[in-house]
Each structure stands twice: as structure tokens, then as C-alpha cells.
Chains A and B, each alone.
Chain A
Amino acid sequence: MRGGWFKVYTLVYLVFLFAPIILLPMFAFNDATVIAFPLSGFSTKWFAALADDPPLHDAVRNSLIIAVTTSILSTTLAVFAARASTRYRFPGKAGLMGLIMLPLVLPEIIVAVSLLAVLLGLGVNLSILTVILGHVLICTPFCIAILSSAFQSLDRSLEEAAYDLGETSFSTFRLIILPLVMPGIISSLLISFTISLDEFIIAFFLAGTQATLPVYIFSQFRFPQAVPVIMALGTILVCLSIVLLCIAEFFRRRGLARSGAKDTGGFL
């Protein structure tokens, strides 16, 4: 077959990509505190230990509140920006869009320290709320990227046809545009939710005493006896991400099918 070597290389590469993730469940179900081969036996005790860990539960609750709020806020902000950038020409557009998209090309630590400096300067107490402010900032560009392609693949004449047939611009938006970009909105919600749930540095700087899940996990790395529990937790998180990713992919494809665009594959 042509490209035989490329295929072998790619498969080896995939093994490299998946290697750590495959180890995760192996040690999560391993009956030993030490993470080492050979495996010593099957056990679900590390999963049981997760149920009995109040600080973890608090962290999960905090993370969920932050992720849900972030995904709604950043998707809303992204709808405005994506619609404005795909539909209108206005002065300062490149500059404003550049600023909004800037977090994509800014190391997160910079976003984190600059926000920290401002918030402490203003005397704001660090909490869930301050983490949300930071997460919305970094999630919005991703949402805009997704929604822009959804808005862009909209045929403008559809909108004009609805307008021509007597709809107002609001009802046109509700009846024509919204249903067509809905799959984009859903995948935007899911992706910003995932990013926020996984984000560490901003939460680490801005969470104060209200630790998020990644911050909690990071704090546990110091204790060797906590490692198998983290493995169990990681296994659950990986399964959750894959489910979310599959749902996002499903909606993305449906969106493409609906607007009749060609599948160019993948996110970004």
C-alpha cells in the first residue's frame, strides 16, 4: 500500500499519544499504593475512597459551578462577537477582534497574574467569581472560533429571503439563524465547559480558598499515598471528557450537514 511507512509511523505516534492515558485505568484499578509494575491485583478501593473525601466534593462543586457559568457567559459573548465579525464591517474591527482573541496567543500565566494584580488592587476577594471572570476571558476566543465558522457557513440569502417574506430581523434571527447555528452553540458550550473544567493556572492564581478540581488535584500530588486516588479520579475525568467530546463532535457534524458545508474535519 502507498504510504505504508507513514501509516506505521502514525500508529506508533498514536501509541505515544495514548500511552499515559492507557496507564491511567491500569493503576486506578491496581491494588497497591505504589505506582509501579508489576500490577498487584484488581481493586476498586481507590474509587470508593473518592466518595469519602469532602474537600474533593467541594472542589468538584466549585468546578462545576465555574464551568457551567463560564460556558454560558463565554458562548453568549462569543455569539455577539462572531455575529459582528462575520456580518458587519465597522471601524476598529480588526483591533477589537484582535484584543478579544488575544488570550489564544497569550501564555495563560500572563492572563492569570495580570487579573490577579487588578483584582487585588481593587480589593476584590478571590473566589469562584474571580475564577469565572478569568475563564470567560480565555474560553471566549475558542467559542468565537467555533461560532464564526457556524455563522460564516450561513448563506446570507437565507436571512434575506426570510426578511423578504415578511419576517422582522428579530424573528429572522429566531426562526432562521438560531436553528442553523444551534449545533455550533451547543459545541461551543461543551468545549468552553471542558476547557474551564480542566483549566489550572488561572484557577490556581484566582481561586483563593475555594479550590477547583484541578487545583485540588495539584495539591494532592505532594502526597504519595494520594496518587492511586488521583488515578481513579483521572480515569473518571477521562471517561467524562471523551463522552463530552463525542457529543460535541456529533453536534458539529450535524451542524455541518444542516448548513450543507463540507466536512473539513476536526476542531480548530
Chain B
Amino acid sequence: MTSEEGLRRMGRSEAASGLAMISPTAIYAILLLAAPLALIFIYSFLTDGDPGIIRTFTFANYIEAWSNELYRVVMLRSLMVALTVTAVTVLLAFPVAYFVSFHVDPSRKSLWLFLITIPFWTSYLIRVFLWKVILGYNGVVNSGLLGLGIISEPLQWINYNVGAVVLTLAHAYAPFAILPIFVALEKIDRSLLEAGQDLGESRFMTFLRVTLPLAMPGVIAAVLIVFIPTIGDFVTPQLVGGPEGRLVANLIQLQYLKLDNYPLGSAIAVSAMMIVTVVSLFFLYLNRRYLRGPES
């Protein structure tokens, strides 16, 4: 603040005050975010040597990342898992957000949201581990069902596969999907819904023609908020995915920490970022088409 005062005395402009004010945070982000991202971008075009990195420009890492069956399968699987998790999470979350926004007394809304967010604030690692415990070969579900005599031997299909990854991630990111949809629904002027009915539409048609389009920005936000961290998730596939459930984050970790191949790891990381960016831009484009310009 003293710097702001100083600048004001010197008669500097608002722009200078703003830049001065933001500079500590901006410099931090430039040094520790922009520069490192630029570095792995550069790494991805270099060649791995033993030891160290050889400074010759090459596309070999990208060619390897996109043509080697091993890597391509994992990247495609990551994309499919992330899209599935996103679809499942958002579809399951929408009715919850709708209920809290439209059917809960206003004074109790925060309480419901609080209930929904509690699980999110408990250790992610522990929650994922609990799913491993629940779904495992000797886990809670199998031991419970065996104990009750419903099954005679442990179910194999519930653990260490892509399905377990989807379930665990859908659980982990549930509040992320509910909150933006809830916010979008809350913003809808309730008289719009009355207007829909007043103009002759049933409740259901009013939902389709008024509520749903107006909730789309929230749905898109939910999609992005779930999709982006999901595609880069490391813990869940590592713990509950088994060998068939490994995702791109596990691959990057393998290249960096186990194989010490930074250029290839970087190429995979940059590729993953590109996938995230392309998919995100696609959803943002959808959103813009829905909204036709800024919100009023």
C-alpha cells in the first residue's frame, strides 16, 4: 500500500499503480510457472542423453509419444476416462444442484452445500485409498457380500480397472460439478420460469426451453472443472487402476522419476496439455454458441 501512496504522490497513472500492485504476484508466476512451462516445452524438442540432455533440436519425442503403441494407448485411455468421468459426474450432479437451487428453502441452501462440500475437504489421498479398500479383492464390498452369502468368491471386475478409476474420480470431483451448476441455476430469475408457463408451456417444456439453456454456462464450467484435473490425475489410477487403468500422469511420472527421460516426459506432458486445451476450447466454443454474447 505504501508503494501505491508513493506512486500517487508522484502523480503516476492508474495503470502504473495497478502494475505495481500486481507485480509481486505476477513476477512469482512468471518465474515459477511461465518459465518452467517454457522449459519443458523446450525440453520436449531436445534429445535424452546418458547422462543429461543433448541440445539438438528434434521432433523424435513427439513422434515416439504419438506413434509408440504403449504411449498412445495410455493417452487415448486418459482422454476416454476423463470424458467418461466428466459425463458421469456432471449428469449425476445436475439433479442435486437443481434440487438445492429450486426445492430447498433459501435459508437452508448453504447448509446443503456445506454438506455436499465436506467430503471434498477431506484428504484426497485417503478418499482414493478408501475406494481401494472398498473395492479391493479382500475389500469391504467383497468381504461383505461373501459374509452375507450373496457371492461365493470375491468379485474381480470391481477392482483394479478403468471402471474403478471412473467411480473413484466421479466421487472425488462431485462437488466441483455441483457448485458451478448450482450457481448458474441460482442466477436464473424465477419469473422467467413463470413466464415460460404463462406463455403456455408445461413445467417440463419450460425446463427444456428456459432452465436448461440458462444453466448451460454452469454445466460447461462443471465440465471443464472436472475434465481438466481428471485427465492429469495420478493418485487414482496408481491406487485403484491396476496395470490396465494407468493414465498419462503415471506415464509422465514414470519418464521423469523412474526412467529419467526428461525430453520424452516433457513431450508427453506437452501433448497432454494440448489435449486438455483442445477439448476445453471446444467446450468454451459450445458455451459461446449457447449464450450468443456476454450475459446480460
Contacts and interface: CB of A to CB of B under 8 A. Distances in A.
Interface string B1-40: 1101100100000111111011111101110111111011
B125 interface: yes
A165 interface: no
A268 B180 contact: yes
A114 B280 contact: no
A10 B18 contact: no
A113 B243 CA distance: 22
A220 B255 CA distance: 23
Contacts of A118: 32, 35-36, 39
Contacts of B262: 117
A107 B249 contact: yes
Contact of A114 (B4, B39, B147, B186): B39
A263 interface: yes
A133 interface: yes
A234 B99 contact: no
Interface stretch (A41-49, A50-58, A83-91, A181-189): A83-91
A10 B99 contact: yes
B28 A136 contact: yes
B18 to A, nearest CB: 3
| Interface size range on A against B | 35 or more
B164 interface: no
A113 B252 CA distance: 8
Given A3-B102, A36-B139, A37-B143, A24 B126 contact: yes
A265 to B, nearest CB: 4
Contacts of A251: none
Contacts of B272: 107, 110
Contact of B234 (A21, A83, A109, A137): A109
Contacts of B116: 14, 17
Interface string A32-43: 001111100000
A264 B183 CA distance: 8
A91 B273 CA distance: 27
Contact of B26 (A17, A96, A121): A96
B239 interface: yes
Contacts of B100: 10
A133 B32 contact: yes
Interface string B118-146: 11011111110111111010111011100
B90 interface: no
Interface string A101-143: 0110111111101111110010000000000011011001000
A217 B253 contact: no
A70 to B, nearest CB: 13
Given A20-B130, A169-B5, A102 B25 contact: no
A241 B256 contact: no
Given A35-B140, A266-B114, A268-B180, A115 B125 contact: no
Contact of A113 (B4, B30, B40): B40
Nearest to B230: A107
A80 B138 contact: no
B113 A266 contact: yes
B115 interface: yes
A20 B232 contact: no
A134 B23 CA distance: 19
B133 A227 contact: yes
A99 B224 contact: no
A113 B139 contact: no
Given A118-B35, A169-B5, A221-B239, A237 B269 contact: no
B21 A117 contact: no
A9 B115 contact: no
A223 interface: no
Nearest to A244: B121
B292 interface: no
Contact of A241 (B115, B123, B186, B231): B123
Contact of B29 (A7, A99, A230): A99
A76 B257 CA distance: 33
Interface in A224-268: 227, 230, 234, 237-238, 241-242, 244-245, 249, 253, 263-268
Interface of B: 1-2, 4-5, 8, 14-19, 21-26, 28-30, 32-37, 39-40, 43, 92, 95-96, 98-100, 102-103, 109-110, 112-119, 121-127, 129-134, 136, 138-140, 142-144, 147, 171, 174, 179-180, 182-183, 186, 224, 228-229, 231-235, 239, 249, 252-253, 256-257, 262, 265-266, 269, 272-273, 276, 280
Closest 7 CB pairs of A and B: A107-B232, A88-B18, A3-B103, A90-B18, A36-B143, A114-B36, A20-B130
19 contacts: A10-B96, A10-B99, A76-B24, A96-B22, A102-B29, A107-B273, A113-B269, A115-B36, A117-B39, A118-B32, A136-B32, A137-B33, A140-B28, A170-B1, A198-B125, A200-B125, A237-B126, A266-B179, A266-B182
